[in-house]
Amino acid sequence: MLALSLLDRAGAAGAKITPQRKVICRALECSGDHPDVDQLLARARESDPGLSLASVYRTLRALEDLDLVWKHDFGDGRARYEVRHDDHHDHLIDTISGQIVEFHDPELEALKKRIAARLGYRLEGHSLALFGRPADGESQTP
């Protein structure tokens, strides 16, 4: 079964789908990284040169409100965005290059659940961003 696109999920959740929102959703969904608002605007303007920054902000806010995108703070002063999917992952940020590496570690996931249980909680969600530099001192090219 094919996963629904961000645009399909937004429409199914009741969001108003304008031509501008279509362009923004497609640009975000095609991103292989975690763009900030300015990066997303530049990418979306490749399809719609007249697109406004306000439209990008409004669309991202609507998608956040529908829990269709994650807004990340990776410590660089810029909010970064990512389409939400069912596959959970965490992030490692290279403090030299700014590269964001996604990873999934089953042992870490189990540890987080054990910690929550030990404290009397059932884990409903979490966000984890690790910050570091390559052990060999050489940053990877983003």
Residue whose tokens read 């640009």: 27
| AA letter at 62 | A
Q: Is 109 annotated as a binding residue?
A: yes
When computed from its CA atoms, the radius of gyration of the chain, rounded to whole angstroms, is: 17
Q: Residue 90 class from Cβ within 10 Å (0-12 exposed, 13-18 middle, 19+ buried)?
A: middle
Q: Is 90 annotated as a binding residue?
A: yes
| Consecutive H or E run containing 91 | strand 90-94
d(CA 50, CA 79): 23
Q: Is 8 annotated as a binding residue?
A: no
Please tell me the total number of residues recorded for the chain in this structure. 142
Binding residues for Fe cation are 88, 90, 109, 126
Binding residues are 88, 90, 109, 126
